[in-house]
Amino acid sequence: MDVSIWGCTFIVMAAFVTDIRTMKIPNWLTLTAMLSGVLFHAITGGLQGVAFSAKGLGAGFGLLLIMHVIGAVGAGDVKLFGGIGAWIGTLLTVQCLVYSVLCASVIGVMILLWRREIVKRLRKVVSSLAGVFILRSFQALKTGKEQQLRFPFMLAVVPGYIFACIYTLT
């Protein structure tokens, strides 16, 4: 297995532990992930390694920044995916993100089923969409923070990361 995957695995596991405990991913971890990823690839691949790492860092950071702006993830997740991208590059980072979002969807549905809130939330979605189409107003789509389902995104990132790594190894 590639050494960069092992390096990234340690960072993902550390982020998992801190996110589960505190619902935050500390800056010292995310900055260390970004800098160590770029440094590792600079040492092992020279300028091509730096370019590989920088593209991955930008892709991970940029995609999660979009998700942060719409309120789907926290700022720590944005910086962490920059670090993940610095270690494993653009393609594997995007695959990790796609699998993580799919896992987050499954986790969210499981939580809603557990809390028996799925019917109530589906009604809200249908009424919001009806408001958009009937009233032609996007105001109905805006939800308050109290309505959002919250859980540590790392619960979805770890299996997403594992799926992405398995996919590249096969």
- The number of C-alpha atoms within 13 Å of 8 and in the hemisphere containing its C-beta is 31
Query: Which residue segment(s) compose the domain that 21 sits in?
Result: 3-169
By mean pLDDT, which of 26-30, 52-56, 122-126, 162-166 is the weakest?
A: 122-126
On whether the CB atoms of residues 61 and 81 are closer than 8 A, the answer is yes
Q: How many domains does the chain have?
A: 1
pLDDT at 146: 46
What predicted TM-score, i.e. pTM, was given to this entire model?
0.80
Indicate if the pLDDT at residue 138 is higher than 60.
Answer: no
Residue 70 DSSP symbol = T
Q: CA 61 → CA 79, 83, 112, 158, distances in Å?
A: 6, 8, 29, 17
Kindly calculate the radius of gyration of the chain based on its CA atoms and give it in whole angstroms. Answer: 18
Supply φ then ψ for residue 136, to 5 degrees: 55, 40
Residue 72: DSSP 8-state:
S
Q: What mean pLDDT is reported for the chain?
A: 86
- The pLDDT of residue 129 is above 60: yes
**SS3 track for 136-159:** CCHHHHCCCHHHCCCCCCHHHHHH
Burial of 3 (0-12, 13-18, 19+ CB in 10 A): exposed
Alpha-carbon torsion, ordered 49, 55, 153, 145, to 10 deg: 150
Q: Which helix (H) or strand (E) holds 92?
A: helix 75-115
Q: Residue 6, CB half-sphere, CA atoms under 13 Å: how many?
A: 4
Banded pLDDT at 167 (limits 50, 70, 90): confident
Exposure string of 150-162, with b = 16+ CB inside 10 Å and e = fewer, is: eebbbbbbbbbbe
Higher pLDDT, 128 or 98: 98
